[in-house]
């Protein structure tokens, strides 16, 4: 005689949902802590697919036990939406949240890339001189949602490529807004000598480059 497993009780459903939610919070908490402590540049682009797989497995298990995985499905939809949004508007899933100021004074202090997920990122290059530049250099700066401001000194030759998937771009006195807004400028001065190349992008928000 065949037997069937009894459906999961409401208490078991709550426990399974809390377990998945707890695991996700632990994963995201560990990632955020490691970035705040500047231990590693946490791979958020890997964590989100892992979290989505975890939710999918939990939905399959809940369905086989007769539970209704409504809450888990909602979590999966949110995670999928975040991943799709990140692909559509060049949203960096790492970099953290908040207001950040970077102020490199030499090429050795200048990073290859600066990233912020949500908030305002200001890169102040006013302490960097032509002598400090020495040779051609390049840096990339990305913000997912928010404002990106780059301040360059008057005598520093720069080549700027700036883009906002949705938003506004202002490079010196040249401005454009809307979808896929792009502006370019440079290299400035007489075009001779070392040049600093700035590749700037915002998914949703504003890019501003100004002399200071």
The residue that leads in pLDDT, 131 or 69, is 131
pLDDT for the residue numbered 173 = 87
pLDDT for the residue numbered 64 = 66
Return the H-helix or E-strand segment holding 34: helix 10-36
The β-bridge partners of 17 are: none
- Placement of tokens 């915002």 in the chain: 202
pLDDT at 160 over 90: yes
Note if the bond before 187 is cis, omega within 30 degrees: yes
pLDDT for the residue numbered 56 = 75
The two structure tokens encoding residue 7: 């459906």
pLDDT digits (tens, 9 = 90+) for 165-209: 889 999 998 999 988 899 999 875 455 678 899 999 998 899 999
Are 177 and 167 spatial neighbours (Cβ–Cβ below 8 Å)? yes
pLDDT for the residue numbered 2 = 47
pTM: 0.63
């Amino acid at each position: 005689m065949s037997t069937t497993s009894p459906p999961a009780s409401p208490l078991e459903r709550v426990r399974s949902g809390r377990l998945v939610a707890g695991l996700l919070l632990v994963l995201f908490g560990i990632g955020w802590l490691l970035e705040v402590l500047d231990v590693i540049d946490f791979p958020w682009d890997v964590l989100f697919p892992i979290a989505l797989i975890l939710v999918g497995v939990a939905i399959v298990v809940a369905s086989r036990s007769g539970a209704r995985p409504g809450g888990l499905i909602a979590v999966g939809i949110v995670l999928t939406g975040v991943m799709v949004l990140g692909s559509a508007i060049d949203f960096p899933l790492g970099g953290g949240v908040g207001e950040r100021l970077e102020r490199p004074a030499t090429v050795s202090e200048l990073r290859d890339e600066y990233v912020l997920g949500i908030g305002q990122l200001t890169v102040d290059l006013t302490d960097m001189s032509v002598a400090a530049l020495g040779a051609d250099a390049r840096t990339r700066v990305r913000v997912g949602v928010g404002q990106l401001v780059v301040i360059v000194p008057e005598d520093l030759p720069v080549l700027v490529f700036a883009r906002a998937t949705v938003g506004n771009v202002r490079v010196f006195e040249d401005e454009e807004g809307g979808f896929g807004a792009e502006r370019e400028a440079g290299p400035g001065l007489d075009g001779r000598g070392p040049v600093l190349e700035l590749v700037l992008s915002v998914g949703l928000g504003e890019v501003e480059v100004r002399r200071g």
